[in-house]
Structure 1
């Protein structure tokens, strides 16, 4: 295989941290490399160095066999004034891209087909699209270009289960030739197993290479750690003998064994520093009665869309359910309905008297009010002491065990990485001892080490658990069953798990959303056939378009004012942290702002549906 990129003894320091420390590695033709490691450990920096976007302090990076490089960054650089056609296809002539099966596969897999239905058509502007839709566009544009070396930074973000499966198949089929390669940073272990021929672990400035995907990486790492443990035990035994010899030596001979003292000191000096391990503990759980949460003939309408259509679902104590579905089908809406955070258009919700519910949203809005707080203060805000097993520990001790060591506890929440914020958010929820846990895309921004610790908690979770996720590995390990939202407003149980969902999606490739006039109910256990696609919505008049644009502009101004009010309230709270009565009043105002924002966002979405 041709050596496309070669790195020799590369060193790079950012500030006081050595991100790369004399790293040597290579990217060969036909390689599909998965990159794993802790958040903030240097994975993105490594990709930028390989792509030539960042120079090293010392060492050499050679790209002899590379004619072109493509990078999917976590933030897209799409022109908001461009159309979807321009962003994805550039100046390619129609007969060129339409006649290329690889490009047609990209358009179908990421944008819903040749007409780019999932993003409003080829002539839609990029600017109004959501973050997830822009992410798909950026990925599609990169795959259409087909560079020699493809660098992907978290490519599965904003992709549903079906999209992740398609991307894995596409990369395996089209990035396996001797003249190209792909390097992907990912925390999606199923995706890593599906595509990777090699796994790189970035840790402590080094890059450790493992042959194969996630499963092979775990096995090889376990074997390395076993060998390291054997070596450490031998060193410890030798150290104990040396120290015992020194203690037994008579005082008159203290000047004699200098070589022995030197040997003992060298053994101690060789001891590697302790890793900053993440340890998520088994938190206590409030006892849950027989009644949890019931949705009876519940419907939720958003604009002219009926996201949930007459659903009846009785959650059982200890039930563990994974929820999958197409983007926009209503997965997050279902969780919000169960949590009582979205009004039902019809039907009712009933909650048991012993229910203590915790809801992890996709965003970290819960931490916005703590932006200027320090990590330890945000943890103590829930509880200053917590009982783990038979032992009571302080918030500071807890933070230490969660990886917020030393001065990291004094870091402001606004300065934490995305993964650290997610970890802090989850910790605060669990410290409140809930017995019903709703997790909306919990794997976002979490590295594999933290994901493994999270799954360890969920393995022994005694309460009711609902998980919305595109991470197949998490769904199949943490949940006892899966249900699907197929876009028709109904719930469908999946005895065959995620694989059955993918088969259903292949049988009905075009996602449909139920019209608001639809009715009926379907429990998770039913097996009714998928509803036919609804008729195309009627065309809107120019007057309706103008009115919708005015509504969008009005709502955007109101949202801007709400944000300013929210910032002023945060500033007042920061000035009076010990005035509990004032803080309580201000917190009530914040809750009112959150409710008002949600109402305005619904209005904006309804207007955006008309504008297109």
Structure 2
């Protein structure tokens, strides 16, 4: 494969930190490279150096003579006063770009809903990002360098971008370098990874999942080597003290299946034990959204604009729901309705008396009043002691487990990075001990390592969880069921993100053909079962609850069977009692499975 660009012995140092120390890299034709690392370790800087936008202190960067490089930065250089037309295609005559299928595909996929002659300065953050992407992608480049390309994009656009990049070049041609915290995107698009850390760049084969496995194995091997070194030192000390060489055995290392490999290894770089923090008790009723229509304006004056129509959503204790929808689909409106902050124009919302909300907003509004205060000052307003997994600990210790150092506790909140603010806000939200946790884009500004830590925290969340995110990996990891807002209607998507994307494409195609918008519920032919919306929601909750109970009872049955072997074979009374317990557990499991089957069949009629 021909090399397109590279760097040799590059060193770069900022005022307070050495970013790169003798880094040598090469980008070949056909490479699809994902770049990961902690925030601040130099991922964006690496792209700037390789693109030639930043000159290193030492070493050199080389480009093949005819190579064309396109760079998408985290922030765009678009002119606010320019039109979208001018920002994307410049002064090129219409016949040039309009006659190109490739250009039309990019424009249709990214900015079909953006006013072509509208001003850039009037666009939303997501529209502006798509305009900048379209500007870059209509160009013909040998190498594309994308810095956080999925920021501000909804899940549908992220899916389109992944498909475009996979088909942009033929196999063995072109090259892609992408910095992103979107792990689904990395797995979908990239065939190799670079990890930036401690002034180095380590290469790995495969996408994100393969990288994680290799990194875990690398750390295990490093630990084995360190154990061997320490063992040799102990042998030498023993020889000196006893006059004879101590006996020892060689360490053994064997790589098990991927699951065992990961489960056996502690978190890399960061430790998190924020498990089972106390939450307020939830009663039977949590949140019932019944036939709600909500929006903005005054219905009595005719200025009302509905955003959510005829929505029914029954949210129970321990439910873990994800809310999907394109930008502007009404997710924020639905969250406001759920919390009782926005009164519906029709229908009603019932919130249980024991519900205590904990909300992490996308804009981190919770931190706005505290920007001039230090972290320690803010933490001083919370309880001094929390119990985590039966052990007492302080808020400061918990924050250190989220990646903060003791020195940073004296930092002003206004001086923190976006990722640090989000981690702090998440901890403060949990320290309030809510029992219903609402998270709006919690993964923004977090690197892949910190996202894994947040997922570990959410995995053990004992209350009700409602998550809004465009991060597909995070959505599928921490929620059990997904609901989607499509054309203002809320519907359960049993097939998860894949079904949601299919439905959005169908709705978009229907609108483009001037066809009536699809109903939010199943077609009438599928509603001949006579169930109302509320009854269908109740059945879905029942199925979800039964699935959890079945898993619990099955684990109990296996535990009882395993305990049979520990009973003395001569203890006949004990054996009989244990067998009775096994039989009772089996009958209970069978009843649950029958109830689950009946409820599932009613939903599928």
Q: TM-score, normalised by structure 2?
A: 0.77
| TM superposition shift of 1:341 | 2.5
Secondary structure in 1 matching 2:289: strand
Gap runs ≥5 in structure 1: 113-117, 250-273, 531-612
C-alpha distance in structure 2 between counterparts of 1:66 and 1:491, whole Å: 52
| Among candidates 219, 224, 228, match of residue 213 of structure 2 | 219
Instruction: Give the Cα separation in 2 of the matches to 1:437 and 1:41.
Output: 31
1:312 Cα offset (Å): 2.1
The aligned residue for residue 566 of structure 1 is none
Q: Deviations over 1:375-430 (max 9, x none)?
A: 23333333332211221112332232221113222222122211111111111111
Aligned equivalent of 2:492: 493
Matched, 1:20 2:55: no
Which residue does 1:508 correspond to in 2?
A: 507
Match of 1:290 in 2: 284
Does the 8 Å CA contact 1:199/1:210 hold for their aligned counterparts? yes
**CA distance in structure 1 between the aligned counterparts of 2:517 and 2:31, rounded to whole angstroms:** 51
Counterpart of 1:306? 306
Kept in 2: contact 1:440–1:469 (CA 8 A): yes
1:242 is displaced (CA, Å) by: 4.2
Answering whether residue 137 of structure 2 is matched by residue 138 of structure 1, we say: no
Q: How far apart are residue 246 of structure 1 and its match? A: 6.2
Q: For 2:306, what is the secondary structure of its paired residue?
A: strand
How far does residue 213 in structure 1 lie from its aligned partner after superposition?
0.8
Q: Give the aligned length.
A: 492
State the Cα distance separating 1:439 from its structure 2 match.
Answer: 1.1
Counterpart Cα distance in 2 of 1:246 and 1:431: 54
What's 2:77 paired with?
Answer: 77
Alignment match, 1:357:
357
* Local SS of the residue matching 1:353: coil
Structure 1 residues 85 and 161, CA, compared in 2 at 3 Å: closer, same or farther? same
Distance (whole Å) between structure 1 residues aligned to residue 348 and residue 365 of structure 2: 27
C-alpha contact 1:39 1:417 (8 A) present in aligned 2:
no
Q: Secondary structure at the match of 2:30?
A: coil
Q: Deviations over 1:507-540 (max 9, x none)?
A: 2225979xxxx99997xxx42489xxxxxxxxxx
Identify the residue that residue 10 of structure 2 maps to in structure 1. Answer: 10
User: CA offset at residue 355 of structure 1?
Assistant: 1.0
Q: Per-residue CA shift, 1:298-356, capped at 9, x if unaligned? A: 22223553111121222111111111112111012111211222332233222111111
Question: Residues 406 and 314 of structure 1: is their aligned pair in 2 closer, same or farther, counting only changes over 3 Å?
Answer: same
Counterpart-to-counterpart distance in 1, 2:64 and 2:406: 44
CA contact (8 A) 2:21 2:200 kept: yes
3-state SS in 1 of match to 2:187: helix
Residue 527 (structure 1) aligns with: 522
Q: Quick check: 1:3–1:65 contact (8 Å CA) kept in 2?
A: no
The answer as to 2:334 corresponding to 1:339 is no
- Pair 354,66 (structure 1): closer, same or farther in 2 beyond 3 Å: farther
Aligned to 2:270: 277
1:49 aligned partner: 49
Q: Is the 8 A contact 1:376 1:399 kept in 2?
A: no
Equivalence for 1:232: 226
Contact residue 278 and residue 450 of structure 1 kept, 8 A: no
Q: CA RMSD in A?
A: 2.5
Structure 2 residue matching 1:59: 3-state secondary structure: strand
Match of 2:459 in 1: 459
Q: Could you give the per-residue CA deviations for residues 195-238 of structure 1, whole angstroms, max 9, x where no partner exists?
A: 00111111111111111111111111121112112112112222
After superposition, the C-alpha distances for 1:479-532 in whole angstroms (9 at most, x for unaligned) are 111111112x2111111111111111222225979xxxx99997xxx42489xx
Instruction: Label 1:240 to 1:344 Cα distance change in 2 as closer, same or farther (>3 A).
Output: farther
Q: Separation in 1 of the partners of 2:7 and 2:306?
A: 54
> Is the CA contact (8 Å cut-off) linking 2:371 and 2:414 kept in structure 1?
yes
Query: What per-residue deviation string (whole Å, max 9, x for no partner) do you get for residues 66-101 of structure 1?
Result: 533222111111111111111111122222222211
Q: Distance in 1 between matches of 2:92 and 2:524?
A: 41
Alpha-carbon separation, structure 1, partners of 2:518 and 2:340: 21
CA distance in 1, matches of 2:269, 2:214: 21
Deviating more after overlay: 294-303 vs 440-449: 294-303
CA distance in 2, matches of 1:65, 1:451: 40
Q: Which secondary structure state, in structure 2, belongs to the residue aligned with residue 127 of structure 1?
A: helix
CA spacing shift, 1:24–1:511, aligned 2, 3 Å: farther
1:447-502 CA-partner distances (Å, limit 9, x unpaired): 11111111112222221111111111112121111111112x21111111111111
TM-score, normalised by the number of residues in structure 1:
0.76
Checking the alignment, whether the CA contact within 8 Å between 2:295 and 2:305 is kept in structure 1 is: yes
- The CA distance in 1 between the partners of 2:170 and 2:19, in whole Å, is 30
- Conserved 8 A contact 1:486-1:512: no
Asked whether the 8 Å contact 1:310–1:519 carries over to 2, the reply is: no
**Equivalents in 1 of 2:517, 2:63: separation in Å?**
60
SS at match of 1:509: helix
Match of 1:159 in 2: 153
| Equivalent position of 2:178 in the other structure | 184
